[in-house]
Amino acid sequence: MLTPLKIAYGGIPHDNGVYTFYRSLRAGLNGLGCQVYCVSIGEKARQGWKPSFIDDGCINLPVASNDLAAASRGFADWCAQEGIDVVIPQHSPEIVAALPHLPPALRVVHVCMDLFPEALHFYQQIAPRVDSMVAATPRQKWELLRRGVPEDRLAVIPFAASLSDSLDGPPVPRTPSQPLAIAWVARLNHLQKGLRWVPDILRSLETKGVNYHFHVVGEGQDRAWLEETLSRTLPRGRVEFHVDGGRQVQGRGRRREASRAQRRAEDEEEGREKKPQDWQQLWNLCVLDPSTFSWEEMRA
């Protein structure tokens, strides 16, 4: 029988995969008597909270987020006060910086959600302080093994979806006259999601004569590029962009729910979330000197 654990998971309650994973993990582990907290640190992180996503496991530690040393120490102190057993840092800079200062008895687990080179390098750098690293696919595991992550610390656990939560009754058969419905539900960012392969994939369907309708649900810095490229290269009406509270069919005017200036600001903000220099910061945090909290330059 599983011993009830207290688990601290690094994340911000809003619409992204890291938080969705937390909610699924919490729902499963709470049933086994475990307590799972979604922990963010500092006022900047707190401003990113979306009220509709918050649950009673969300915690923000009120420390000065512009002082990384204080934020990291604050997290380590909170873990000691709360009796945390397991830390899942994900991409929280403050929690990553705290890893060298956590007691050896506190287990660290990391769930690998990305496959692009910067993320793989980050996983490689935190591996010495991670007790268990979870890959979502065999390919991801192979990439981590190739970078020297010990096999005895690696496990492959595919992401799963509960169809019972989304399907009401058996699937309805599709008739030959109905278009094949394809949906992209993810951030519109090529670096992280491979978005720029989408037009070629859809063009190959056109070449093969497939009757399809492509739905796009998501925001990100490459949205404008995708809209322009698909409207220029695909027949009118093939693509439908969905936004909060509505939809926009390709080729039928601009999005009504937000002005162009608003969209540009949203895309620029999305682009700042995980640009390469942010990953460089995370790599630097992995080699923090535990006594001084200074970091040395990473050498590739």
- Cβ(284)–Cβ(299) under 8 Å? no
Q: What is the pLDDT of residue 272?
A: 44
290 occurs within a structural domain: no
Q: Which amino acid is located at 115 in the chain?
A: L
**pTM of this prediction exceeds 0.85:** no
Same domain, 137 and 41: yes
* Sheet with 239-243, edge to edge strand ranges: 180-185, 212-217, 239-243, 246-249
Q: Which amino acid is located at 153 in the chain?
A: R
For range 150-158, the mean pLDDT: 92
Q: What is the pLDDT of residue 160?
A: 65
Bridge partners of residue 198, in order along the sequence: none
Pairing relation of β-strands 239-243 and 246-249? antiparallel
Most confident of 58-72, 192-206, 233-247: 192-206
Q: What is the pLDDT of residue 288?
A: 40
The answer to whether residue 53 scores a pLDDT higher than 50 is yes
HSE-up (13 A, CA, CB side) for residue 125 = 24
Give the C-alpha separation, 214 to 233, whole Å.
Answer: 14
Hey, how many other C-beta atoms are within 10 angstroms of the C-beta on 282?
23
Average model confidence (pLDDT) across the chain:
79
Residue with tokens 């909060």: 244
- Cβ(39)–Cβ(17) under 8 Å? no
Most confident of 115-124, 145-154, 269-278: 145-154
Give the C-alpha separation, 125 to 132, whole Å.
Answer: 14
Q: Which has the minimum average pLDDT: 176-180, 241-245, 264-268? A: 264-268
Tell me the angle at which helices 117-126 and 138-146 cross, rounded to the nearest 10 degrees: 60
11 occurs within a structural domain: yes
Q: What is the pLDDT of residue 57?
A: 94
185 occurs within a structural domain: yes
For range 118-139, the mean pLDDT: 90
1 occurs within a structural domain: no
% of the chain at pLDDT higher than 90: 39
Bridge partners of residue 256, in order along the sequence: none
63-113 pLDDT per residue, tens: 865 788 888 889 999 999 999 999 999 988 889 999 988 999 999 999 998
213 occurs within a structural domain: yes
Residue bearing the bigger pLDDT, 73 or 281 = 73
Sign, Cα dihedral of 43, 274, 17, 258: positive
Q: Residue 109 is part of a domain; what is its CATH number?
A: 3.40.50.2000
For range 46-50, the mean pLDDT: 90
For range 139-144, the mean pLDDT: 92
Q: 29 phi and psi, to 5 degrees? A: -80, -30
DSSP 288: B
Structure tokens at 276: 């390469």
295 occurs within a structural domain: no
Q: Which has the minimum average pLDDT: 155-164, 190-199, 251-260? A: 251-260
221 occurs within a structural domain: yes
Q: Give the total number of structural domains in the chain.
A: 2
298 occurs within a structural domain: no
Give the C-alpha separation, 129 to 4, whole Å.
Answer: 23
Same domain, 201 and 158: no
For range 161-170, the mean pLDDT: 60
Please give the residue range of the domain that contains residue 236.
173-273
Same domain, 105 and 41: yes
Residue with tokens 């200074």: 294
Same domain, 128 and 190: no
- Cβ(134)–Cβ(155) under 8 Å? yes
Q: What is the pLDDT of residue 300?
A: 31
